Each structure stands twice: as structure tokens, then as C-alpha cells.
Amino acid sequence: MGRKDERFYAKKGTKVMMIGNEAIVRGCLECGVSYIAQYPGTPTSDIGETFQSLLENDPMLKDWLVHHWSINEAVCISEAVGAAWTGVRALAPMKHVGVNVASDALSVIALNGPNPGALVLVVGSDPGSLGSHQEQNERFYGWMFHLPIIEPQTPQECKDWIKIAFQLSEEYDIPIYFRTSTRSAHSRGIVELGELSYGKPKGSFSRNVEKLCSLPPYAINNHIRIYERIEKIRSIVPKLKINSVLAGNKRGVFSDVGIITSGMPFGYSVEALHQLDCDEIAILKLGMVYPLNEAEILQFVKPRKKIIVIKNLNPFWKAILLKFYSKTKFQMFLSMVKIISPVMENILRD
């Protein structure tokens, strides 16, 4: 038994240094997560390693916290939702290509919903293939299965927003797709801690054929229900306050150009604007990248003549934002290269 890592026991208000994955673990400890099932893969492996270390160094945690290494991601997500169906909060971390393996089970789990508990997938993407055989944009799974996608940038957001993800999952009976990247998972920053909250030591399963049986005639009813759930979440996105506007900070200067981005490209955008002395350009940073709240988007878009959408990998937002095209002018910029920042200046300069 080694030493306890005091960062995971420190009181509310304490500020500590953490990487994004560690912050996710701390966030789970603050919102009562009881079960974690995971197949390891970069950049999410150290989420499980951190939980394992905590359990080894503090056996008392085993009274209410379980971490299990699964044989693959399909088993991982099935284990996690099984725990959620007993009323506990469950976490399923995996890397981006792992969603391919989990997708068959996930397509049905999305329809069933995780209630009476909650289920959050932490999906670690890998733009640039820094530790993977490809860099697919797996966000499309969230869109296809109607799963809300939350995309943090900083370790503080990783900790705070994982708690929001569990609240949404529990309240709206829907799995939440919590998407990190190699950069956000392994970047280090100051995190202000919240109150610790122990999870349930034991769940209880109640048979519910209409909800949990995805065969006719129940499957179509669950399909209808997931559309209702995603629309409810769309309507409350502004209240979550995870989308924000970085206003142009040149006094007395308003630019008719705006940027919409999320995650790590937000940091690259700020850096490029500063280097180009274009700090008057405002940025809409989306924490909830799906579903988008139309009123919130248009509030940012309408005063501006040109909107530049900056993302990495394939154009996930293109189809979603096209319906706004008649109301403004969009310029889509999507990096297909390993590191986005060297090419940022060229597009913004143009």
C-alpha cells in the first residue's frame, strides 16, 4: 500500500494541480459515482489507473466504489449501464476508436436510458494520432444515437462538467457523451476542488420490460422517447452556462467577424488572434457541442457578417450549422493536420 494522494481527499476550496483525467476522477468523487467499467486506451487509460491506485491505497473506498477493467468496450458499456439500472452513477471511459466496439450495445442503451441511475461515457479523442492507429471524428456517434456531447478544454472544466454530465443523465434518463482529447486529458492546470460526495454502496434492480426490452413493440416507443429527451436538453443548454463568449477586448472596437469553436481549438484560436493583433474578434466557445441551442447561436451570429467555425477533424458541425446559413455568412475551417495552431494564423489572416 502506497501513500494516499491528498488531492483526491482535500476539502472544498482547495486549489491543486491536476491533469484533465485526474480532474475527471476528482469530479466523479464529488458527484457520487459508484461504478467504473473501462477498457484501457490512450488518452483515457490513466482514469482507470487513478481509480485503481485510490482503491489500493484506501481500501475503505471499496465500500462504495468499484473499478473494473473490461475485456473490450462493448462489455465496458454494458457493465456500466447494468450498474446504472440498479440506481447508481456509472462511468465508462474509452478511447475514440473504442466507441466503434461499443457502438452496437450503445445504440440500444441510448434508447433504453440509464435511469434510475446515470451513465456517462468519457471518450478520449486523438487528433493527430498521437497514440492511435487513426484519428476518426467519433462525435458522429453522439449525433447518430442522440447523445448530448459535452467537450471540456481545461482540467477545471473536466472536473466541473463531469458533474453536470451526471446530473443531466440522471434527470433526463439519457447517456452523456463526455468528449476529451489527448491534449485536454493530459494538459495540467490549477483546479479548485468541490465537496466530496460518496456514492451508493449498493444498488437494487427493478424489472421494467417496457423500458429495458428493446424488441417490438417497445423499441419504437423508446425511439420516440429519445427524441423527446434530446429536445428537452436542447432547450436548457443556456441555463447550464457551459457555453461562453470571449468578447473582443479592444476598447471601442467591434468586429463584424466572429469565431465559433470548442475544446482545445479554442485555446489555439485565442493564441492566433493575439499574435495577429486581432483581439477585437469575439469567440463563442461551446461546451455543449450537441445539441445546439438555436437561439443561443443566433444571438452571437446575428450582429456579425462573417462567422468562422474552427474545429479539428471532419466537419461534424457543418450539417448542424447549415440551417443557420441563410441568416449569416459562415466560413468553415477544419484542420486536417496534426497540430492545428501553425495553420490557424493563415486562415485568420485571410
Distance in angstroms (rounded) separating the CA atoms of residues 341 and 84: 40
- Residue tagged 456517434 (cell numbers): 141
pTM of the model: 0.91
Rounded to 5 degrees, φ, ψ at 69 are -80, 120
Residue 309: beta bridge partners?
260, 332
Question: What does pLDDT average to in each consecutive run of 10 residues of the chain (350 residues)?
Answer: 87 97 98 97 94 94 95 97 97 93 95 97 83 77 92 97 98 97 92 95 92 88 93 96 85 77 88 86 92 88 82 66 58 45 50
CB-CB neighbours of 326 under 10 Å: 6
Domains 6-240 and 244-349 share a fold: yes
- DSSP, collapsed to helix, strand or coil, labels residue 124 as strand
Q: What angle do CA 107, 294, 91 make, to 5 degrees?
A: 35
**What DSSP string describes 51-64?**
HHHHHHH-GGGGGT
Cα 70 to chain center, whole Å? 21
Distance in angstroms (rounded) separating the CA atoms of residues 190 and 169: 27
Distance in angstroms (rounded) separating the CA atoms of residues 157 and 289: 14
User: Which stretch of DSSP H or E encloses residue 247?
Assistant: none
pLDDT value, residue 322: 62
**Domain ranges for the chain:** 6-240, 244-349
pLDDT value, residue 251: 60
- DSSP, collapsed to helix, strand or coil, labels residue 301 as helix
Residues 6+ apart with CB under 8 A from 131: 42, 43, 182
The domain 244-349 is classified under which CATH number: 3.40.50.920, 3.40.50.2000, 3.40.50.970, 1.10.1510.10?
Answer: 3.40.50.920
- In Å, how far are 99, 242, 306, 327 from 161, measured between CA atoms? 21, 8, 30, 31
CB-CB neighbours of 195 under 10 Å: 10
pLDDT digit string (tens) for 117-151? Answer: 999 999 998 777 777 777 777 888 888 999 999 99
Distance in angstroms (rounded) separating the CA atoms of residues 256 and 282: 9
Q: Yes or no: say if 72 and 62 are a contact pair by the CB < 8 Å rule.
A: no
pLDDT value, residue 319: 61
- CA-CA-CA-CA torsion sign (265, 272, 297, 321): negative
Residue 324 has what DSSP assignment? G
pLDDT value, residue 280: 87
Domain 6-240 matching CATH 3.40.1360.10: the answer reads no
pLDDT value, residue 62: 92
Nearest CA-CA partner of 138 in 177, 173, 174, 165:
177
